Every structure is written in structure tokens, then in C-alpha cells.
Structure 1
Amino acid sequence: MNSIFLIGYYGYGNFGDEVLLKTFINKLKGNGKWKRIHVLSTKYHSHDKITYIPRFSFFHIFRAVRQSDIVLFGGGGIFQDTTSSKSLYYYIFLILLAKLTGKKVLVAFQGIGPLKRRINHYIFRYVIDHFLDYVSLRDVESLQLLKNTVKVRRPLQYFDDPSLSFFRDSVDLTTMNNLENVLGLNVRQTGNEEINADHFAAIINRIVEKYNVSLKFFILQEEHELDLVTKINSMLTVKATVCQLTIDNFTEVFKCNYLLAMRLHLLILAFSANIRFLGITYDPKVSNFLDGVDTGKVSLDLDTLETKLEQLLSGNVKKRNDEIFEGKINSVEAGFKALFDLINDGGSPGNGTV
């Protein structure tokens, strides 16, 4: 059949997930084996040998599974129970459906957790140990969660986030020769502890007055960001422009000298483009990435934000460490090689960082 079913949180207008989807599609097409790629999304349509499958249509999902040789869970952090267990159980159901129809099930470059409910530890451990043909993770923290807390028995490996490869191939440094004096901003609602909009706006107002920078908000998922951005922007003395970031216009970020952001894949983009940046740590995946690239971070309480921003705009925050960057790129490429070696040859998964 030479068909693969790619599963993730695709189709909801989340910039990070759409970057991951584009990354996997590019890699699959480059592999040259696939006559048809199915993608789990929000509605049914077909384009350029890619069929998008509505995630709540059992008929379309079952048909896509039956028509595929391999079911691949590609990138992101879909295996978690932060708000409820429903999403976790949904993806576990897809794994079981694929195995019941005799398909290979591969999980690649996944971030795992949080898994807060103990019953989910037992369920997910059993699924990983008995129903998956391949597992790779996107960070050491996911590996430690599975090994030390969930107590998974099977061998595990991790590689860096695959979006690094996409951004590396997409970044054209010649577009960055005439940088404007712009501070890029990105904030989001988290559902738990939230940013204090008044405090945030007051700090940004003082920074603008002192450093005479222009401001540009980047929205990566309107549902979780637009209201907060609108509220903060209404309190700024110098209004920021607002850009809805997509897979087609993400080079707008290159017009910024500096970036303050919460979203993981915007931080990864800044790192890839060698833009000085600070991250606001609302989620372990963001903190883990910032620690791994040796750059500045602030917590949601914003206690150190003003000091860190002054350091950023004064040039006292380091630019990208090229050795770290190349190491992460090599890690991603090793991850894809391990994945495609298994797909193409039916061999062992290869060597990752264990």
C-alpha cells in the first residue's frame, strides 16, 4: 500500500503543531516511499497526495488506518492528562485500533506528560510496553518521567525537537541584514497560573521609554492568546502591532532584534534564527528547552522580568551557541534516520540518547 497515517494535534491553528506537521510531511516526501499520506486533522479534504482525516469521524479514521501500512504519532506533546484524561484516552484508542488491524505503530519525537493521575501511569505503561513498535522522545525529561515515574520497561531514546530541522532549512540570514529596533512579544493564557496583564504592561511601558523600541505581538494560537494580547495592548503607551503567525509568514519574526516569548516553537524559531531571546516558563517543556540552550528565562510571576529585559536590550543576553545548535540539529537528523531505518528496513530503531 505504501501509505502512512500521521497523527498529532493538527488542524487547530496552533503554529507549533503546524510546524511539526510540515516537518514530518517534508521528511516523508523526501523519503520517497509513500504514495499516500493520511493526516489526522479537523475536516476531510485531500490535496497533493495527502488526505486529511476528521478526528471525530470513526468511519474516516478506521478507513485511513485500514489503508495505511504504518500509523505514526509525530511530534508534539499529545500524551498528557493536564486538563482531563479524555485526550490521552483518545490517542490510546487510536493506538489500539491500529494494532487490532495489524498495523505498525510508531511514536516519534514525543514529549510526554504531565501525567497527573496514577491510573494513567499504569494504563500508559502497559500501552508503551506492549503495543508500540517504536518510541522516541523529544527531551530527557520525558524519558525520565517514563522510566522513573511511569516505570516503563522497554528501551527508550530521545532526540531534540524536530522543528529545529524545519527552521534550520527555512532560515535565510540574508533577510536579517536590516533589522528594525523591535522587541517581539508572545504571551498566552495557561488555564492555571496566569500572567498579570497590568504588571506585564507596566514593565513593557518602562522598557519602551528607556530603550525606544517598537513592539510586535506574535499570536501562535488565537484561542489562547488574542484576548490577553488585546488586554495588554490596551494598556501600552506605545501600541504594539499584532501578527498572527502561520507557517507561511513566520519570517516576520526575523524583523525583531529581540524576543520575549512563552510558546516553545517560537523560542525554537528564535534560537534557530540567532535572535536574542528570553523565555517565560509556564510549562516544563519550555523550561527544559531554555536550560538546554543556555539562555535567559523568567517565571510567570515576572519578578525578574524588567531586569532580564534590560539585560536583553543592552546586549547582555548571549546569542546562540553554535556548538549547541549544531548538536541539536545532529540529534534531530539522527532521530529521523533511526525512524526511517526502521520504516524502510524493518530493522532496529538505531542509536539515540538513552
Structure 2
Amino acid sequence: MQAVLCGYYGKGNGGDEALLATLLQMLPDRVTPLVLSGNPEATRNRYGVKACDRNSIPQVIQALRQSDAFIWGGGSLMQDTTSAISPFYYGGLMTLAQLMGLKTIAWGQGIGPLKRPLTRFLARQNFTGCSAVSVRDRASAALLNDWQVSCTLAPDPVWALESVAVTGLWDLPAPRVAVTLRSHPQLTPTRLANFTRALVDFQTATQACILLVPFQQSQDLAIAQAIQPQLPGSSQIFTLEDPKALKGLFRGVEMAIGMRLHSLIMAASEGCRCFALSYDPKVSQLVAELDMPGWELSQMPEDANVISKTWIEHYVNGDATSPEKIDALIDRALLHQELLAEALLT
């Protein structure tokens, strides 16, 4: 059996690459993956799989014709907040796969926000036509329940991604604190300046080595490069393309301050204390489910002193997610794997 894997792959986004790596890890051995990628050569080289250009209509149609199944591979594919085009791309491919008679699976999805009636209608039609659906949050499950679509609810699949050690990490001075920021309208120049001043004060107080970790270089690297020269102590920018190494980075980190959803999931799953800056409902949902400290980015204090003192308090007295809870989340995340086996092999 050959399955087309469809997501935001080959675009240099660490979170989406982590979803692809997890999906490949969870696919039954008898299933051959064919990945729709923004960079097919890089995808082939990194994962050792078939890949074709996600933007080439002839290649995509040929891939569908040659395959037995089509899988939406994790993430917030059906949402119209960051892009009005995105749901039509993913929804159009799902519709085409269903019309061509492929077995269709929506895997590890976070649905919405869907603010436009047309994209909401398309999403409902797509999910209704799927052979199997798994979602990663209660809000998505509630929406599907309203649409009378049955689904499996489980934690984000990346909780179960295998991690590998990062060469050279342990040579850096301890303690180590990871920071993952991304460009966003809510991260205004003023907020970034306040954040940076607070990080300087935090490093001065804790003597921590600051690891600036761009999850998507096109959006995050410039921010890391702007912050690093202002830090008084030891620091390093880590640009890791292997998602297993990206997750493994957090093995050697005492605390993570992050905006990106998958940076927080990776950090929490490796037993690292986390502090969240939420710019999106999916991050806020994770914060609520794990009782994770943090702020909505739009409500981050304006006083850098308040920010740094809050981080220092969490660094000194805060708790990481308990090993028991991590094990439970990983076990439940494996429900996504069970869904694949049941849907593809029966």
C-alpha cells in the first residue's frame, strides 16, 4: 500500500517537520509513504522516502493516482486565520483524493479557527468524507461532534516522537535555558525590546547559557540574531533541521521560554520546565491542559523587571511536567498510531 502524506512539509518549519517525522515513525511497515513537500530533495534525503513537489499539480495528481490512501499529516491545516488560501489547498486535495476513491485519513489535526462560512463548509465536507479522523485538542473534537463526525482525541503526536542527543550541547556551560520566538504581529518591536531586556536580567541573575532556537529560520532566525548580541553571558543560536535532534535539544535544558506550540510540547516531553507566550488558541489550549505558566503575548507585562522576576521565580521554584504525566501523554499520543494501523490495514 502507498499513502500520500500531506502537510506543511519541506517548508523549514521545525514543528511541521516533527509531525512528519512522527507520522513516518507511526506508519505501519507495510505502507510506503509518498510525501508532498515544498523541498522534495531535502525530504527524500532527510527521511529516505519518496517525495514530490507539493506545488506541481501534475506531480500531485500522479501521486494520487499511484496511491491507495491520502493522509492529512498533523497540524492546523484547516484554518483560515494565518492564510485564506491554506484551507482551499488542503481541502481541495482531500476532496480530490476522496473523489478518486482513496482511503482518506485526517491524522493529528487541530481544526480552526474557521471564520469564513465557505472554509467552514469545506472543512465539514472533508472531515465527513474521511475514513478515520484523529484530533489533538478538545476544541477540535467538540467541533467534529457538532458535525456528527466520529474521531479519536489524543495529545499531539509529537509527544511520542523519538528524540536523539545533540552533538556539542553538553559542552556548553550549564545551566541552559532555551528560547523559541517567532515573528508575529503581536510580537511588536516594543514587546520584543521588553522581552530582550528581561532576558538580559534573567541571564544576569541565573548565569544561564541562553540557547536561541529558531524553529523556522525564515521567521525566527532574525529575531534570534537580534537578541544574541545584547546578552551579557554565554549564548548560542541552534539551527537544527532534524526534528528528532530538535526535540533532543531539550534533554539538556533546565527551562524553556517559548511561543511555538511544538517547542513547548518537545520541552515538556523531555522533562523541561516551560514558560509559554501564547499567540494562538492552540498554544493557549496546551497551557490550560498542562497548567503551564505563561502569558497571552498580547497581555505580557510592559515592565521588563516584572517579566524577569516571573521567569526567575519559575526557574527557581517551578515544576516540570511530572514523569508520570509525560508517560501518560505519550501513551495516549500513540492512539494516533493505532488509528493509522486500523484504518490502513483493515
TM-score (ref. length: structure 2): 0.88
Partner of 1:7: 6
1:135 to 2:133 alignment: yes
1:334 to 2:331 alignment: no
Partner of 2:271: 274
Q: What amino acid sits opposite 2:100 in the alignment?
A: T
Aligned pairs, number: 333
* 8 Å Cα contact 2:137/2:153 also seen in 1: yes
Distance (Å, rounded) in 2 between the aligned partners of 1:334 and 1:254: 24
Greater alpha carbon shift after TM alignment, 207-216 vs 298-307: 298-307
Greater alpha carbon shift after TM alignment, 226-235 vs 326-335: 226-235
Change (3 A) 1:179 1:242: closer
Give the match's secondary structure for 1:219. Answer: coil
Cα RMSD for the two superposed structures? 2.4
- Residue deviations 1:132-178 (CA, integer Å, cap 9, x gap): 2211111112223444xxx41222331111111114x6579xx9899
* 8 Å Cα contact 2:19/2:74 also seen in 1: yes
Q: What amino acid sits opposite 1:242 in the alignment?
A: I
Distance (Å, rounded) in 1 between the aligned partners of 2:136 and 2:240: 23
Distance (Å, rounded) in 1 between the aligned partners of 2:292 and 2:173: 21
Q: What amino acid sits opposite 2:140 in the alignment?
A: S
Q: What amino acid sits opposite 1:17 in the alignment?
A: D
Change (3 A) 1:170 1:200: same
- Residue deviations 1:3-45 (CA, integer Å, cap 9, x gap): 11111110011111111111111222xx2212x3200102444
Give the match's secondary structure for 1:244. Answer: coil
Q: Quick one: higher RCO (CA 8 Å, sep 6+), 1 or 2?
A: 2
- Residue deviations 1:191-243 (CA, integer Å, cap 9, x gap): 44546121111111211222222212111101111222222234333463211
* 8 Å Cα contact 1:181/1:214 also seen in 2: yes
Q: What amino acid sits opposite 1:180 in the alignment?
A: A
* 8 Å Cα contact 1:278/1:296 also seen in 2: yes
1:183 to 2:163 alignment: no
Partner of 2:319: 318
1:33 to 2:34 alignment: no
Greater alpha carbon shift after TM alignment, 256-265 vs 9-18: 256-265
Change (3 A) 1:189 1:239: farther
Give the match's secondary structure for 1:277. Answer: strand
* 8 Å Cα contact 2:134/2:339 also seen in 1: no
Q: Which runs of 5+ in 2 are unaligned?
A: none
Where do residues 1-354 of structure 1 align in structure 2 (5 Å cutoff)?
2-28=1-27, 31-34=28-31, 36-45=32-41, 50-129=49-128, 131-147=129-145, 151-167=146-162, 170=164, 180-192=174-186, 194=188, 196-238=191-233, 240-247=235-242, 249-250=245-246, 251-300=248-297, 301-303=299-301, 305-314=307-316, 316-345=317-346
Distance (Å, rounded) in 2 between the aligned partners of 1:180 and 1:112: 39
* 8 Å Cα contact 2:131/2:343 also seen in 1: no
Q: Which runs of 5+ in 1 are unaligned?
A: 346-354
Give the match's secondary structure for 1:259. Answer: strand
Partner of 1:351: none
- Residue deviations 1:101-156 (CA, integer Å, cap 9, x gap): 11111101111111122332223223322x22211111112223444xxx412223
